[in-house]
Amino acid sequence: MRHRKRTFKLGRTSSHSRCMISNMLKSLIQEERIVTTQAKAKELRRHADKMVTLAKKNTLASKRKAISSLMIRFNSLTSKEARAARDGDTSAYNGDRLVLSKLFDTLGPRFADRQGGYTRIIQAGNRVGDNAKTCVIEFLSD
C-alpha cells in the first residue's frame, strides 16, 4: 500500500525522476515558464515552491541546500576567467551558476512578502501524438 507517499512516480526510477525534476527546475528558474505534462507540473510545483522559500531565506545553508537539490555542478575556472568573472563578465560560467544567481537575486526578493503559492499551472490541452494532458507552469509575476 502506498499510504502517505506524496511523490508522483511518473513511470521512472527514483534516480531518473530526481534528475528530471532538477533539470526541469533549472529550466523553470531560467525561463520562468515551461510547458510540460500535467503530472510532471504538479510534482514540479512542490519542488519549485521549496526553492523559492530557500531563496527567501538567503543564507549560506539555504544556498548549499539549493545547490544540492538542483544538482548544480561548478566548472573550474582558469585564473583568467576568474579574474574576468570578478570584473562582471559571466560568459565563462556554465548555466548552473546563472540559475543559482537568478534564484537568489531575482526570485527570492520578488516573493519576499508572499507566504506561499509562487507558481501557477495553466491547462494547455492535449499533446499531439500520445494525447497527454499538457499545461504551462510559471512563476507568478507579483
Residue found under cell 523559492: 52
- 44 located within any domain: yes
- 129 located within any domain: yes
CATH of the domain at 29: 3.90.1030.10
- 91 located within any domain: yes
- 3 located within any domain: no
Highest-confidence segment of 89-93, 97-101, 108-112: 108-112
Q: The whole model's pTM is what?
A: 0.86
The domain in which residue 63 lies consists of 14-139
Q: What is the pLDDT of residues 10-33, one digit of tens each?
A: 888 989 999 999 999 999 999 999
Closest among 90, 63, 60, 64 to 77, alpha carbons compared: 90
- 5 located within any domain: no
**Percent of the chain scored above 70 by pLDDT?**
99
Angle between helices 14-31 and 95-102 (to 10 degrees): 70
- 76 located within any domain: yes
Q: How many domains does the chain have?
A: 1
- 56 neighbors 112 (Cβ within 8 angstroms): yes
- 66 located within any domain: yes
Res 86 pLDDT > 90: no
In angstroms, the CA 109 to CA 103 distance is 9
- 6 located within any domain: no
Q: Quote the mean pLDDT of the chain.
A: 91
